[in-house]
Amino acid sequence: MSPHSHPPSKKPLVFAHRGANREAFENTRSAFDKALGYAIDGIETDVQLSRDEVAVLWHDRFLNKIGLDGKRIDDFDYRELKALIHPQSDGEGIMTLQDFLAAYRTRCRLLLEIKNRDWEAVSRHQLKIRKTLDLTGENPEHRIMVSSFNLASLEYAHQYRPGFPLVYNFEDDQTVADARTLLSTHAFLHGLCVPIQNLDREMVDLLRQQDKCVAVYTCNSDSEISKALQLGVDVLISDVPQQALTLRDR
């Protein structure tokens, strides 16, 4: 271990990626409840806006996963989405962020990824940020974090709600040099969430030196999970949280 590294004092937290998404339809009450059947520490989910500006949990812009090829989440009002999205059961309908927070914020930690991409107007990006941060309300002990791949959105979030824990998601092609530059100009960031294939000791040491959270996605194989555990990350995001928990607690 590098003499300059600062290992975490606690074991890594395991977050279920979109819930237990291999056991139920992702980002639904069924997936979240199944994940909580294990001793998970947190849930990661995705925030989008319906056409009528309701914050809902959905990963992709398109609705191909429910057979509506070419149709988009923002083509429909929330009432219409409720009628459309019933993959298997009532527990697998589309969920609002408000209902999600009411149901799960007291049961585990939460990581809310705001899906702000170039296809959407900046005004909608900012509205999504405001709605998400307003709905979270009080956030003792930083039990809720917000993340995004959109750096401008996190800058806006910091201006809107200084002190809220914000995590920047790294793309596959971003490196430790990018992280060093970013942290020199965006010291407000709570941490980075890095693809497991890009995570190494140098990246972890850099984040530890600056007292930042080290999160990693998406660790699904034994080798990926073991790598994250050996590097001592703070947050390990997995599609198979029960597998991650078994390896962590072995």
Give me the residue spans of the domains in the chain: 23-124+136-146
Torsion of CA 30, 31, 36, 37, to 10 degrees: 70
The whole-model pTM stands at 0.94
Work out the pLDDT band at 232, boundaries 50, 70, 90. very high
Condensed to tens digits (0 to 9), the pLDDT of residues 153-207 reads 999 999 999 999 999 999 999 999 999 999 999 999 999 999 999 999 999 999 9
Strand boundaries in 42-134, DSSP class E: 42-49, 55-57, 62-63, 68-72, 109-114
Condensed to tens digits (0 to 9), the pLDDT of residues 196-231 reads 999 999 999 999 999 999 999 999 999 999 999 999
Q: Which CATH superfamily is domain 23-124+136-146 in?
A: Phosphatidylinositol (PI) phosphodiesterase (3.20.20.190)
In Å, how far are 5, 29, 193 from 210, measured between CA atoms? Answer: 10, 36, 15
Residue 155: CB atoms within 10 A of its CB come to 15
- Closest to 152 in 3D by CA, of 126, 113, 175: 126
Task: Check if the beta carbon of residue 217 is closer than 8 Å to that of residue 17.
Answer: yes
**Coil/strand/helix, residue 149:** coil
- Closest to 168 in 3D by CA, of 211, 159, 182: 182
**pLDDT of 89 strictly over 80:** no
